[in-house]
Amino acid sequence: MPQSHSTDEYQTPPPNNRRGSLQIVEAEIFVKQSNSQLFRATLSDLSVSGFKMTSYTDLDHEKPVHIRLPGIQTLSASIKWADYEDYGCEFSDELHPAVLEHLITRLRGFQQIERAIPPRLSYHI
């Protein structure tokens, strides 16, 4: 029997009941909801069933989110919980474990490149 959700249920993350292993990764992603502009968010973990992201843009819990990750088509997900700027989302279709591993490898590779690039220096004349 389907359960109805009140908005109070979206305020805090539930206990970890994820399917599949959780991979910690920090990466910048692009997010979109219907009738909104594409904006940036920070992905902080990823599994075959979903992800956690931080967004400074207020998201509508009733609308699906669409995220763009490197090397893969746009993925759709629904928001399952929210805690201030953190959002827990569940993919509409689970990722294949091989696809998850590919994404983790690419995202961690981008992190290493970003750390290797020295910050820009500004000179004042």
Do the domain assignments include residue 122? no
Do the domain assignments include residue 53? yes
The CA distance from 38 to 30, in Å, is 6
The total of structural domains in the chain comes to 1
pLDDT in tens, 55-110: 999 999 999 999 988 778 899 999 999 999 999 999 999 999 999 998 888 888 76
117 token code pair: 């690039």
Do the domain assignments include residue 67? yes
The CA distance from 123 to 113, in Å, is 24
DSSP 8-state class, residue 41: E
- Residue 22 to residues 16, 51, 58: CA-CA distances in angstroms? 10, 9, 25
- Which one has a higher pLDDT value, 20 or 109? 109
Domain of 32 in residue numbering reads as: 21-115
CATH number at residue 87: 2.40.10.220
Do the domain assignments include residue 45? yes
Do the domain assignments include residue 3? no
**Amino acid at residue number 81:** W
Do the domain assignments include residue 62? yes
Q: Is the pLDDT of residue 2 over 70?
A: no
Strand partners, 40: 30
Return mean pLDDT, the chain.
Answer: 78
